[in-house]
């Protein structure tokens, strides 16, 4: 017998039809795109600033009619091109995310690539907020059978929640730990934060749609609900444990082999 909370969640997420499931996934994706935009602003800001600083220094030298140091100029142009390439990669990643169909069939996927892909949209923001990212990836993990873009959303939702907890609670250590391992037929991913932990009275509610403790303009309360549904539809599970007063660890378990949807 499943616990009542699990039963209630399955009822909330049981798709009335393929169309309503598609609608649900589409809404979840739009919510994530909004979150990505915030991260993207930070991600692009740094290289844009670097390019601006270099260009301004070249202009200053031209204005002062200084003889141009050609080898140095060459080096600076190389840096500018590297920064532009970095931005192109990020933008291409966003494009890939937005064109991938929410209902593309699952395929064998490298989970580290998915976690790092999601991280790309928020890493600059985390760095800006001085949040330390610690990766404890198991070597030689087998591929998991999932829809990449859907799972990227899940990780991004979890990262955003961790970031919010770390910033809201003014904790002494701001750390996000990402851990992977293979256990029997599954891959496990842990997303652990030192954000103080989810308070006991709300632990039962966090997966409910529209449950949020955040200001209206900061959270819709759809992140975890959507993530729960997505992980489930990829044949996995999403659970969490709290270390009182220290932080929360979300655990995602995903199937390594082909998953036959019942
Ligand atoms: N890592 C965490 N640490 C502490 N509390 C958390 C954490 N993750 C989730 N929560 C709590 O669970 C609530 C629900 O999370 P959920 O992601 O569903 O919605 P949200 O973050 O409030 O809004 P949205 O994700 O839609 O922008 C949050 O408002 C917060 O109170
Ligand atoms: Mg959230």
Q: What is the pLDDT of residues 223-247, one digit of tens each?
A: 898 899 889 989 999 999 999 999 9
Distance 221 CA to ligand 2 centre (A): 6
User: Rounded distance, CA 229 to CA 238, Å?
Assistant: 9
In a domain, 66, yes or no: no
CA of 16 to the centre of ligand 2 (A): 25
Task: Please state, in angstroms and rounded to a whole number, the distance separating the CA atoms of residues 91 and 84.
Answer: 11
Atom of ligand 1 at shortest range from CA of 220: 26
- 193 pocket-lining for ligand 1 (C-beta < 6 Å): yes
Q: Is 27 inside a domain boundary? A: no
Flag whether 205 is in a domain. yes
Give yes or no for residue 222 CB within 6 A of ligand 1: yes
* CB of residue 230 inside a 6 A radius of ligand 1: no
The CB of 225 under 6 Å from ligand 1? The reply is: yes
Alpha-carbon Rg for the chain in angstroms = 21
H-run or E-run covering 14? none
Q: How confident is the model at residue 258 (pLDDT cuts 50, 70, 90)?
A: low
Query: How many domains would you assign to the chain?
Result: 1
262 falls within a domain: no
pLDDT digits (tens, 9 = 90+) for 76-118: 999 999 999 988 888 888 887 777 666 778 889 999 999 999 9
Cα 25 to the center of its chain, rounded Å: 16
Q: Does residue 143 lie within any of the structural domains? A: yes
CATH number at residue 134: 3.30.565.10
254: Cβ–Cβ under 8 A, 6 or more apart, which residues? 111, 144, 145, 146, 151, 186, 187, 189, 231, 234, 235, 236
Residue 167: inside a domain: yes
Q: What is the pTM of this model?
A: 0.80
Two structure tokens written together for 136? 């404890």
Cα three-residue angle 124-130-133, rounded to 5 degrees = 70
Inside any domain, residue 56: no
Structure confidence at residue 37 (pLDDT) = 77
pLDDT tens digits, 136-191: 999 989 999 998 888 999 999 999 999 999 999 889 899 999 999 999 889 999 99
Instruction: Note down the domain range covering 167.
Output: 105-255
- Ligand 1 in contact with 226 (CB < 6 A)? no
pLDDT band at 197 (very low <50, low <70, confident <90, very high): very high
Asked whether residue 177 is domain-assigned, the answer is: yes
């Amino acid at each position: 017998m499943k616990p009542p909370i699990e039963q209630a969640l399955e009822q909330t997420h049981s798709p009335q039809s393929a169309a309503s499931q598609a609608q649900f996934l589409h809404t979840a994706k739009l919510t994530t795109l909004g979150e990505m935009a915030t991260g993207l602003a930070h991600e692009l800001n740094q290289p844009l600033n670097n390019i601006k600083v270099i260009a301004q220094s070249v202009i200053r030298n031209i204005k002062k009619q200084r003889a141009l140091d050609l080898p140095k100029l060459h080096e600076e142009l190389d840096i500018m091109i590297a920064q532009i390439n970095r931005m192109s990669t990020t933008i291409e990643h966003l494009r890939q995310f937005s064109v991938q169909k929410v209902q593309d069939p699952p395929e064998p996927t490298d989970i580290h690539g998915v976690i790092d892909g999601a991280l790309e949209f928020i890493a600059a923001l985390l760095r800006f907020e001085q949040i330390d990212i610690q990766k404890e990836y198991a070597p030689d993990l087998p591929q998991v059978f999932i829809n990449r873009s859907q799972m990227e959303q899940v990780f991004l939702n979890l990262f955003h929640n961790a970031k919010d907890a770390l910033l809201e609670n003014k904790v002494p250590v701001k750390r996000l730990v990402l851990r992977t391992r293979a256990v029997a037929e599954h891959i496990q991913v842990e997303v652990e934060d030192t954000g103080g932990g989810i308070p006991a009275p709300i632990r039962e509610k966090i997966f409910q749609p529209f449950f949020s403790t955040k200001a209206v303009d900061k959270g819709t309360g759809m992140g975890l609900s959507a993530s729960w549904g997505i992980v489930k539809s990829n044949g996995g599970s999403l659970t969490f444990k709290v270390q009182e007063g220290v932080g929360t660890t979300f655990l995602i378990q995903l199937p390594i082999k082909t998953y036959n949807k019942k």
